[in-house]
Chains A and B, each alone.
Chain A
Amino acid sequence: MQFECCIGTTGFGVYHHPLNLVPLFKQTRYEKMVKLPIYLDYSATTPVDPDVAQAMVPWLTERFGNPASRSHAFGWEAEAAVEKARTDVAALVGADLREIIWTSGATESNNLAIKGAAHFYKDKGRHLITLKTEHKAVLDTVRELERGGFEATYLGVRENGLIDLDAFCAALRPDTSVVSVMLVNNEIGVIQPIGEIGAICREKGIVFHVDAAQATGKVDIDLTKLPVDLMSFSAHKTYGPKGIGALYVRRKPRARLEAQMHGGGHERGLRSGTLPTHQIVGMGEAFRLARENMVSELPRIRALRDRLLAGISCIEATYVNGDMAPEHRVPHNLNVSFAYVEGESLMMSIKDIAVSSGSACTSASLEPSYVLRAIGRDDELAHSSIRFALGRFTTAEEIDYAVEVLQRGVGKLRDLSPLWEMAQAGIDLNTVQWAAR
């Protein structure tokens, strides 16, 4: 791929400020003001869109009724709002509104889908298939089922992060009952071919679940065409509030689940619990806005992401993680390893830029990113990785500023890095005997 090189390498000033006194604005070389810190972690969460927040407020105060109250107007209007939101969520993904079950978020949706289907169909089979690169909400759910007597296959992925369909077919067993594959990976943004996987599952009568938490508003989802039985959604990755999500449960052919939450029989018995009207209204409005904005928003974000990539490409010894082809990756995501510098210290050196790293130092487990390990990156490059996730409110000035501080930060840390010094001296780091503890 060809990228215009060296955006932002000339003429930028050096910003000095006392350590704990971060000015709110800084001047870039483009003479435009950039508000700091800059948020490039939209895959962790997104701000609630102001329109969404506004739509939610009345449902907390004057319109506080319980949607399950059938005996008065307070309940009726709340129920109407919930159903309007259900229609908006269904519309974004080409579903029928009766196929949408409210949950507390994608983690609960994943639990309900995988445990619910595995238990419902346990007499048919007790074997599950998922990917090594799934979110922990899927991996830990499958592990829990293993403890309960189910068997599981955790498929590796190819170097570009995508599933190997031949390996998938080879892993299928007569007793395979549930397959779970995410639509968009949270770390490297790659888009799995769920249409093809679903077609294979459908043919064999296997329940197919898709975690689409990172996908809504980023890729087209049409469940009238996709052979998917269960699909998890989250509001807060798509400019809605935290604490609300949904599970799509196909009606034709019907996917059956065992409820995981018991109580008042809400959501047709699949998920009991009083519906949080304001949260649901927020999710509905967020998904309505996503549907409305996708066409204009995605090209704009893609252009910014490519601008970021072009700037980063000017830094020596950087490696993009995951497939970059437009059809295989969402436009919001860029995941790069900066060789010879460690991710956490790089984040410290770009402290006005909010990003995530696959470095072990950022995780409680002290293990580097399992997703990057699964695509074959060695530990050092996994430790050196940064995930940039752009979004609705990202500007070109923010990207240019980020590129400037990245170039400075990487330069500073490489000056400090014994690995960089050795690499510059022509030493192959793989031949060094490391005195690891």
Chain B
Amino acid sequence: MTYSNKVLDHYENPRNTGSFEQGEEGVATGMVGAPACGDVMKLQIKVGKDGVIEDARFKTYGCGSAIASSSLVTEWVKGKTLDEALTIKNAQIAEELALPPVKIHCSVLAEDAIRAAVADYKKKHGE
């Protein structure tokens, strides 16, 4: 698979990897995908009192473009409100990373991860 330099950069130097401490204030988690399908993404967001995402973390099992998509998403959600984060679409991720057609599902999964993390936050905070 020939990847764009952006994918290679995120793969070689993934941003915001890891997990938040369990029980940390304002943290919500979205986990999407399945091992049998070859990719699982875990996206965590940390939301401040003002409703803005202050920080994000990810862990991903998957191919290079899955890792790059989730790494990119952690950069993009930071500084956004939950509603703003939900406007991030897979097509933007695919375009930014110049994903080949066979890898579009990785960007779809990254969008799903945002939705899952936001839904988890809203559930925890009774919204």
Contacts and interface: CB of A to CB of B under 8 A. Distances in A.
B60 interface: yes
Contacts of A419: 35, 40, 61
A88 interface: no
Given A345-B11, A416-B60, A366 B33 contact: no
B63 A379 contact: no
Contacts of B112: 435, 437
Contacts of B61: 340-342, 416-420
Interface string B58-83: 01111110110000000000000000
A19 B9 contact: yes
Q: Which of B34, B36, B40 has its CB near the most chain A CB atoms (within 10 A)?
A: B40
A253 B40 CA distance: 56
A342 B37 CA distance: 10
Nearest to B7: A348
B37 A379 contact: yes
Interface residues of A, number: 31
A222 B58 CA distance: 57
A46 B14 CA distance: 35
A292 interface: no
Contacts of A437: 32-33, 37, 105, 108-109, 112
A264 to B, nearest CB: 42
B38 interface: yes
B42 interface: yes
B8 A434 contact: no
B6 to A, nearest CB: 11
A190 to B, nearest CB: 24
Given A361-B38, A379-B36, A421-B59, A348 B64 contact: yes
Given A435-B116, A437-B112, A366 B102 contact: yes
B108 A19 contact: no
A355 B109 CA distance: 27
A436 B60 contact: no
B36 A418 contact: no
A420 B40 CA distance: 11
B38 A434 contact: no
B64 A345 contact: yes
B36 A344 contact: no
B38 A360 contact: yes
B32 A435 contact: yes
A160 interface: no
Interface string A372-405: 0000001110010000000000000000000000
B31 A359 contact: no
Contact of B1 (A344, A366, A380, A417): A344
Nearest to B59: A418
A331 interface: no
Contacts of A378: 36
A1 interface: no
A361 B11 contact: no
B92 interface: no
A344 B63 contact: yes
Contacts of A379: 35-38
A417 B14 CA distance: 12
Contacts of A383: 35-36, 38
5 tightest A-B contacts by CB?
A434-B34, A379-B36, A436-B34, A380-B35, A418-B42
Given A342-B39, A366-B102, A418-B60, 8 more contacts: A341-B61, A383-B38, A416-B67, A419-B35, A429-B35, A435-B31, A436-B37, A437-B33
22 contacts: A340-B61, A342-B62, A345-B11, A345-B64, A348-B11, A359-B63, A360-B38, A383-B35, A383-B36, A416-B59, A417-B59, A417-B60, A418-B31, A418-B59, A429-B35, A434-B33, A434-B34, A435-B32, A435-B33, A435-B112, A437-B37, A437-B109
